Amino acid sequence: MAENKMGPNLQAGAGIFAKRVQKSLNRAQEKVLQKLGKTMETKDEQFELCSQNLNKQQIDGSRLFKDVKAYYAAVKGMHETSKRLSQTLSDIYESDWDGVKDLAVITESEDLLWNDYEEKINDQLVRTMENYTSQFPEVKERVAKRGRKLVDYDSARHHLEALQGAKKKDEAKIAKAEEEFNKAQNVFEEINNELREELPVLHQSRIGCYVTVFENISNLRDVFYKEMSGLNRELYNVMKKLETQHSGKAFIIKGLNRCVDPGSKTCRTPALEAWG
């Protein structure tokens, strides 16, 4: 950064030449100060962009977190209703039907699979998002702090400029103002540089987070669905066996006032008993 080394300690009244030199010096000084201002503006613009990105990132992150939690709840809902169906089937399944034991095994396996799926979603997705979103409040606090330090810096700068631009220059005051200015500058620059490095990195990290989340979820789903479809097939087969067991067994012979299911233990007629 160009330093303002051109002090205005010139002897007055040295003629036109001196005046010209003075002018060009002043202009250079002015430019330097302008550039100082411009640089600050630039940094602010860019920082403003970073800050906006940060806010957007936080909002997006919260949204994803909410949706991940909703997904987790939905999975639990599916588990619950699926379990109830299986339970009802187990209840209506009579002990002499084919495949009673198989059914019990299938029901058990399905339940385990669901539990596993739920647990993994909680660990890999919900926790991840929790950690991701929890880092934002702290960063935002630091951004706010930087803002405050910037204000301090600006005011110190204006004070210094005012003193330097005054008609009667008080060297002691200027020196003190310079010292304060430098201190404010350092404090600000420190936090500014920190954030300038960290914010882009943080912004970048969102991609990593999202990719991780969706990689995990697609992986979990893949495994879950494969296993579940296997269990579905097994249940299908059990049902087929049951159907075979019971097909053609129920028939009515008109004229007899009693049920005629040979499979049922409650009613038998002598005529049908012979068929066994």
Q: Which of residues 24-83 bind other proteins (CB under 8 A)?
A: 31, 35, 38-39, 42-43, 45-46, 60, 63-64, 67-68, 70-71, 73-75, 77-78, 80-82
Query: Among 252, 270, 273, 275, which residue interacts with other proteins (rule: CB under 8 A)?
Result: 252
Shortest spacing between CB 186 and other proteins, in angstroms: 14
The Cα 181–Cα 214 span in angstroms is 49
Cβ proximity to other proteins, 18 vs 214, nearer residue: 214
Shortest spacing between CB 176 and other proteins, in angstroms: 26
Query: Among 91, 96, 138, 171, which residue interacts with other proteins (rule: CB under 8 A)?
Result: 91
Q: What is the CA radius of gyration of the chain?
A: 40
The Cα 60–Cα 67 span in angstroms is 11
Shortest spacing between CB 21 and other proteins, in angstroms: 15
Shortest spacing between CB 77 and other proteins, in angstroms: 4
Cβ proximity to other proteins, 23 vs 38, nearer residue: 38
C-alpha 223, offset from chain centre: 23
> In sequence order, which ranges of the chain are alpha helices (DSSP H)?
16-92, 100-121, 127-134, 136-165, 171-246, 270-273
How many residues lie near other proteins (CB under 8 A)? 73
Both ends of the chain: CA-CA distance in Å? 107
> Is-contact 219 123, C-beta < 8 A?
no
Instruction: DSSP for 244-261, please give it.
Output: HHHTT-----TT-SS---
Is residue 4 a contact point for other proteins (CB under 8 A)? no
Footprint of other proteins on 133-162 (CB under 8 A) = none
Cβ proximity to other proteins, 19 vs 240, nearer residue: 240
Footprint of other proteins on 213-242 (CB under 8 A) = 214-215, 217-219, 221-222, 225-226, 228-229, 232-233, 235-236, 239-240, 242
> Is-contact 194 131, C-beta < 8 A?
no
| Single-letter residue type at 231 | L
Query: Among 140, 176, 206, 268, which residue interacts with other proteins (rule: CB under 8 A)?
Result: 206
Instruction: Using the Cα atoms of residue 80, residue 81, residue 86 and residue 88 in order, give the sign of their dihedral.
Output: positive
Query: Among 148, 194, 246, 269, which residue interacts with other proteins (rule: CB under 8 A)?
Result: 246
Q: What tokens were used for 9?
A: 């300690």
Q: What tokens were used for 208?
A: 């990593």
Footprint of other proteins on 94-133 (CB under 8 A) = 97
- Using the contact rule CB under 8 A, the part of the chain among 130-138, 148-156, 173-181, 243-251 near other proteins is 243-251
Nearest to 76 by CA among 121, 107, 127, 10: 121
